[in-house]
Amino acid sequence: MLNISIVLYNPKWAEEVIPLVEELLRVKNLCKVYLLDNSEKKCENVPLKSEKLRYMFMGLNLGYGKAHNVALRESAFQQTDLHLVMNSDIRVQAEDIDAMHDWMMAHPPVGMLMPRVINPNGTQQYLAKRLPSPLDVFGRRFLPQCMMVKRNRRFELRDRDLTHPINAPYLSGCFMLLRTKAAVEAGLFDERYFMYPEDIDLTRTIHRNWITLYYPQWTITHAHARASYNNKHMLWIHIQNMCRYFNKWGWLRDPERQTFNNL
């Protein structure tokens, strides 16, 4: 069985949240869907009703990982086998989530799974990656793209056959099917990050003892907003939190990064 958590911030209920949750409530292995609302204003009349749906108004913007941890701790307490962390801008079929659940239950060494992710126009999103260096993060944002082509291809695993599974040390937080035991062993999301590098941090920590798998047998659609590319405030948040990430793991010297990336 599994729980699912979605963090909301001033959500598009009619366009995104309602269609997604209606589909998630069809999942046969579902225990509970948690809607964790970081918005300034509480939704007084949630437009969906189900005993398997729990709306939680946080009262302030806790950030992405800290809000998801509220639901992850409930999964740990309930001893739920799996926990799916996902964005509200995802489109996925209930049958595929059930199939992923069954596959994970049949493969105990896998601590995290992310399927193939595509844009609404059908093109590939490269969300299974190597662990980033400071140049990978800041160079792709501030240097001319012509200088970063080769490095970006390596960082985003474009040199790999993405029709085959990859045990990657960095999987995107837009859709993380977590084995609850693995997430708890890793300490859940590091709440020092407001948003952005919490998925890198959690994947690499789980990757130490478990397989963290890009598995393209299933495909989901992600309407990736890339807010830090269009909003200066979000860009500043991105920079601050990436600095926290490199302060924790190492800027130039990160032996684990080198080992995982070489593997």
> Which stretch of 75-79, 94-98, 144-148, 155-159 has the lowest confidence by average pLDDT?
144-148
Q: Which amino acid is at 149?
A: V
For residue 199, give the nearest of 208, 191, 210, 189 by alpha carbon: 189
| pLDDT confidence of residue 228 | 56
Q: Cα 11 to the chain's mean position, in Å?
A: 18
Query: Helices in 114-214 by DSSP H: which ranges?
Result: 134, 140-142, 149-155, 180-185, 198-207
For residue 4, give the nearest of 57, 81, 109, 61 by alpha carbon: 81
Calculate mean pLDDT across residues 181-206. 97
Q: Where are the domains of the chain?
A: 2-131+164-226
Which DSSP letter does residue 152 get? H
| pLDDT confidence of residue 225 | 66
| pLDDT confidence of residue 143 | 84
pLDDT tens by residue, 30-61: 999 999 999 999 988 888 889 999 999 999 99
In b/e form, how buried is each residue of 2-40, taking b as 16+ CB within 10 angstroms? bbbbbbbbebeeeebbeebbebbbebebbbbbbbbbbee
Tell whether the torsion through CA atoms of 36, 222, 49 and 42 is positive or negative: positive
| pLDDT confidence of residue 145 | 83
pLDDT tens by residue, 18-27: 999 999 999 9
What confidence tier does 227 reach under pLDDT thresholds 50, 70, 90? low
pLDDT tens by residue, 54-113: 999 999 999 999 999 999 999 999 999 999 999 999 999 999 999 999 999 999 999 999
Q: What is the mean pLDDT of the chain?
A: 95
CATH architecture of 2-131+164-226: Alpha-Beta Complex (3.90)
Which DSSP letter does residue 133 get? P
Which DSSP letter does residue 185 get? H
